[in-house]
């Protein structure tokens, strides 16, 4: 069964990149905002976890130097300029209002930023383009001396086209998470790509701002504990073991066959069952905690993950084309000992319960909680956060006219080592596999691989449980 999970490796390389020009990109036509205009951002947009830029990169092996090819940078700039008319909030800037919340402001500095660069390397020299690689960082533009997590007074779209000597190119994209969640980002990206490919503005669906949809209630009504936001004093060795030394990013390609067997083994002993995500998240969490040898074993740990709340909103429903943040953070908790010695089915039940707890009322309670007690710092105590990118149309949304990207996704997880990402398999075979990326201390990588690949113990435990029923 281990053959159904392949450990992926990336090359440790230096990519020489030369910046050739910086191009401000303004909307191509009139927009419904003037100098001094402000736009409201919801409490979901204002979550501390959204106050970041999400960096991604897209690789294209097509030969941009061919005589019948469109010039890459000009094509992308022209299309972005057109798309910024209906998506005009992305041409503004973020500033902090008097109440401490962020808002979009239209002042002297406006527009997106496009950076054109080149490298004397060829794409083939970058190694395997199937897995995130921290050494790709030069393909995403950062301002000199840019502070970590800076979002105020920054372009909300920062794009870098890097032209490689072989004729291929990359598009590095930094999109402000305060403006859109993953699904909203894919909606914007698809519009930009379709506009570049056709040469005419394409928006399907039409973008909808409407952040007032998530106005807090008067008075705010908090109906849940919201453990996802609670500050927990670190009582275990987990966080210290991750942050005291530089973590290592490990990636695994998990086949559909492995996921199906894992899901079968993870089914709780009730009538509700569990999803593939429940099973995968439970297995990753257990393997991670075992590999880190967390002490003491009675310490409570948290697993958090984002849930798309769009399907939950029915009274009233969201308007089509809404591209803001509509995610709630689900949270499951368990003592270390239960994760180490308990069954996979018990842990998958915890994940399922956390996932199903996100309801329309939970969304409204989250909005109200943020109104009264908005966290101002990220909490890492005893926590693993899983981000599920498999639900995003990363590859399908990114055909700008040069075909499907050979890779689409994040670059580096190590700045936030308590995050695990599930990515879609970008291979041409479209195998349905999932790429799991996670950070660990170098000393724990071998143990994690051993626990993650081996289903033998899970199978024997599962059979023992069934005999007791």
Give the per-residue pLDDT at 270: 85
pLDDT, average across residues 177-194: 98
Query: 462 pLDDT band (50/70/90 cuts)?
Result: low
- DSSP conformation letters of 11-74: -------EEEEEEEE--SS--S--TT-EEE--TTTT-GGGSSEEEEEEEE-S-TTSTTSPPHHH
Give the active site residue among 177, 278, 368, 425: 177
Query: 469 pLDDT band (50/70/90 cuts)?
Result: very low
Are residues 287 and 353 in contact, defined by beta-carbon separation less than 8 angstroms? Answer: no
Q: Which of 410, 460, 421 is nearest to 174 (CA)?
A: 410
Q: Where is 176: in which H helix or E strand? A: strand 169-176
pLDDT, average across residues 200-221: 97
Give the per-residue pLDDT at 65: 60
**Burial classification of residue 5, based on how many CB atoms lie within 10 Å of its CB (0-12 exposed, 13-18 middle, 19 or more buried):** buried
Give the per-residue pLDDT at 205: 97
Query: 288 pLDDT band (50/70/90 cuts)?
Result: very high
Query: 456 pLDDT band (50/70/90 cuts)?
Result: low
Give the per-residue pLDDT at 241: 77
148: preceding bond cis by omega (within 30 degrees):
no
**Tokens coding 466:** 């069934």
Are residues 456 and 344 in contact, defined by beta-carbon separation less than 8 angstroms? Answer: no
Give the per-residue pLDDT at 428: 62
Query: 461 pLDDT band (50/70/90 cuts)?
Result: low
pLDDT, average across residues 307-311: 97
pLDDT, average across residues 160-175: 97
Give the per-residue pLDDT at 466: 44
Q: Of the ranges 63-77, 288-302, 312-326, which is most confident?
A: 312-326
Residue 324 has pLDDT above 60, yes or no: yes
Query: 366 pLDDT band (50/70/90 cuts)?
Result: very high
Query: 189 pLDDT band (50/70/90 cuts)?
Result: very high
Q: Which of 218-227, 419-428, 433-442 has the lowest mean pLDDT?
A: 419-428
Give the per-residue pLDDT at 429: 62
**Burial classification of residue 154, based on how many CB atoms lie within 10 Å of its CB (0-12 exposed, 13-18 middle, 19 or more buried):** middle
The answer to whether residue 399 is catalytic is: yes
pLDDT, average across residues 20-39: 97
Q: Which of 75-84, 195-204, 259-268, 411-420 has the lowest mean pLDDT?
A: 411-420
Give the active site residue among 20, 78, 210, 399: 399
Of residues 34 and 69, the one with the higher pLDDT is 34
Residue 314 has pLDDT above 90, yes or no: yes
Residues 6+ apart with CB under 8 A from 430: none
Residue 2 has pLDDT above 60, yes or no: no
Query: 415 pLDDT band (50/70/90 cuts)?
Result: confident
Are residues 419 and 436 in contact, defined by beta-carbon separation less than 8 angstroms? Answer: no
Residues 6+ apart with CB under 8 A from 71: 64
Give the per-residue pLDDT at 405: 95
Please list the residue range(s) of the chain that carry CATH number 3.30.559.10: 10-208, 237-391+403-467
Question: What is the DSSP pairing of strand 112-119 with strand 157-164?
Answer: parallel
Of residues 302 and 237, the one with the higher pLDDT is 302
Give the per-residue pLDDT at 245: 77
Strand partners, 18: 118
Query: 29 pLDDT band (50/70/90 cuts)?
Result: very high
Residue 465 has pLDDT above 50, yes or no: no
pLDDT, average across residues 59-74: 76
CATH 3.30.160.150 correct for 237-391+403-467: no
The answer to whether residue 181 is catalytic is: no
Give the per-residue pLDDT at 369: 96
Q: Which of 403, 390, 404 is nearest to 432 (CA)?
A: 390
Residue 347, classed as helix, strand or coil, is helix
Of residues 378 and 370, the one with the higher pLDDT is 370
Sole residue written with tokens 């995500």: 277
Query: 3 pLDDT band (50/70/90 cuts)?
Result: low
Give the per-residue pLDDT at 447: 95
pLDDT, average across residues 44-58: 95
Sole residue written with tokens 């281990």: 2
Render pLDDT for 127-167 as a digit per residue (tens, 0 to 9): 889 899 999 999 999 999 999 899 999 999 999 999 999 99
φ, ψ of residue 330 in degrees (nearest 5): -85, 150
CATH 3.30.559.10 correct for 10-208: yes
Residues 6+ apart with CB under 8 A from 7: 250, 251, 252, 449
């Amino acid at each position: 069964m281990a053959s159904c999970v392949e450990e992926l490796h990336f090359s440790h390389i230096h990519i020489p990149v030369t910046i050739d020009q910086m191009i401000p990109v303004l909307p191509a036509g009139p927009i419904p905002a003037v100098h001094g205009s402000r736009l409201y951002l919801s409490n979901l947009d204002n979550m501390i976890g959204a106050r970041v830029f999400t960096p991604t990169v897209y690789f294209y092996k097509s030969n941009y130097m061919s005589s019948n090819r469109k010039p890459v940078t000009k094509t992308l700039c022209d299309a972005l300029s057109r798309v910024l008319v209906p998506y005009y909030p992305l041409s503004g800037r973020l500033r902090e209002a008097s109440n401490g919340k962020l808002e979009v402001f239209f002042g002297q500095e406006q527009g997106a930023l496009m950076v054109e660069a080149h490298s004397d390397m060829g794409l083939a020299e970058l190694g395997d383009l199937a897995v995130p690689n921290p050494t790709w960082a030069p393909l995403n533009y950062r301002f000199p001396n840019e502070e970590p997590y800076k979002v105020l007074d920054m372009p909300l779209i920062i794009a870098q086209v890097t032209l490689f000597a072989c004729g291929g190119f990359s598009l590095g994209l930094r999109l402000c998470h305060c403006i859109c969640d993953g699904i909203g980002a894919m909606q914007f990206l698809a519009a930009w790509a379709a506009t570049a490919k056709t040469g005419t503005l394409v928006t399907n669906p039409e973008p909808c701002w409407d952040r007032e949809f998530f106005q807090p209630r008067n008075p705010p009504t908090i109906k849940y504990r919201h453990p996802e936001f609670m500050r927990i004093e670190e009582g275990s060795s987990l966080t210290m073991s991750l942050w005291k030394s530089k973590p290592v990013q490990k990636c695994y390609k998990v086949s559909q066959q492995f996921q199906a067997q894992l899901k079968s083994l993870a089914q709780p002993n009730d009538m509700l069952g569990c999803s593939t995500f429940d099973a995968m998240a439970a297995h990753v969490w257990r393997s991670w905690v075992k590999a880190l040898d967390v002490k003491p074993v009675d310490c409570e740990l948290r697993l958090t993950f984002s849930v798309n709340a769009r399907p939950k909103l029915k009274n009233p429903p969201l308007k089509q084309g809404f591209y803001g943040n509509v995610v709630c953070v689900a949270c499951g908790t368990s003592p270390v000992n239960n994760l180490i010695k308990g069954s996979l089915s018990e842990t998958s039940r915890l994940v399922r319960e956390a996932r199903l707890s996100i309801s329309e009322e939970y969304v409204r309670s989250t909005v109200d909680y943020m109104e009264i007690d908005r966290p101002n710092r990220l909490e890492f105590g005893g926590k693993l956060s899983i981000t599920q990118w498999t639900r995003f149309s990363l590859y399908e949304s990114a055909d700008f006219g040069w075909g499907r990207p050979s890779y689409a996704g994040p670059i580096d997880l190590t700045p936030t080592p308590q995050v695990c990402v599930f990515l879609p398999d970008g291979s041409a075979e479209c195998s349905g596999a999932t790429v799991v990326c996670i950070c660990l201390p170098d000393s724990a990588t071998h143990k994690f691989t051993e626990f993650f690949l081996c289903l033998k113990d899970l199978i024997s435990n599962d059979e023992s449980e069934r005999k007791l029923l």
